[in-house]
A and B are shown apart, each in its own frame.
Chain A
Amino acid sequence: MARMKFLCDAERCIECNGCVTACKNEHEVPWGVNRRRVVTLDDGVPGERSISVACMHCTDAPCAAVCPVDCFYTTDDGIVLHDKDLCIGCGYCFYACPFGAPQYPQKEAFGVRGKMDKCTFCAGGPEDDGSAAEFEKYGRNRIAEGKLPICAEMCSTKALLAGDGDMVADIYRERILKRSTRPQTWGWGVAYKADS
């Protein structure tokens, strides 16, 4: 059985935020909720790196471990999903997640967070596949349609990969071998070319 995984190649990500936009558009994510976002380190400094982050669908998900109402489940291919009908919006999963993936709409008064929302790997939730209820609560179920997450499919530089972990790893391994383990965009290889 495949294990679905995301991988963002920091050497390729150009901080275009296409993945963020595609995700919000595909699932009609409400204002204030970002299932995916691009984080940039050393922004504006030569050598800056960007990485696209969402729920990483952990094998041993800490969000599921701390959930007091046990609303999380993991599919056979490793996608971590949750039931919004059970969620009480306590926020424990937010504190447990190392990636800051769980989001809350904060629509209600008195600081009530509302039902937790997060990346579903475009796999919907515990409702009938492709139903209006599923779309309203969890967004589109592309996996049921035989498609992969829109964020990765829309990535123009193919920095963001999503699919069977073994296939993703093979692609990334090939890239590393081609790069000879060093970034080729700048550094000694660029400044001091072999023929100069």
Chain B
Amino acid sequence: MRKVTLTLLIVASMALGGCYESTDITLHDPGVYRGGSDPLLAKQASPEQRARLGERFQMGQTDR
């Protein structure tokens, strides 16, 4: 009888423990990007890349 009571207590405590729910609130921080990082961002910071795009524009899109 004692063993059964002990087992029931353990099972009950484990079952109730499984129902635990975190009460921490996840606050929404609007406007903060949550996705993956884009390697292009680092590339665009280089002056060479900007110069290439500028040359490309002058080469292809200016009026002739």
Tell me whether chain A's interface is mostly helix, strand or loop, or mixed: loop
Task: Give the distance in Å from the alpha carbon of A195 to the alpha carbon of B29 in the complex.
Answer: 67
Of the residues B36, B41, B56, B58, contact of A75 by C-beta under 8 Å: B41
Of the residues B34, B36, B39, contact of A69 by C-beta under 8 Å: B34
Task: Give the distance in Å from the alpha carbon of A65 to the alpha carbon of B36 in the complex.
Answer: 18
Interfacial residues, chain A to chain B (CB-CB below 8 A): 1-2, 64-65, 69-73, 75-77, 81-83, 85-86, 123-129, 141, 143-144, 146-148, 152-153, 158, 161-164, 167, 171, 174-175
* Range class of the B interface residue count: 20 to 34
In the assembled complex, which residues on chain A have CB atoms less than 8 Å from the CB atom of B62?
171
- Known: A69-B34, A127-B38, A171-B62; 16 extra A-B contacts, CB below 8 A, are A70-B33, A70-B34, A71-B34, A73-B38, A75-B40, A82-B35, A83-B34, A86-B34, A124-B38, A126-B36, A128-B39, A147-B56, A148-B57, A153-B61, A162-B61, A167-B57
Q: Are B57 and A141 in contact (CB under 8 A)?
A: no
In the assembled complex, which residues on chain B have CB atoms less than 8 Å from the CB atom of A141?
40
In the assembled complex, which residues on chain A have CB atoms less than 8 Å from the CB atom of B29?
70
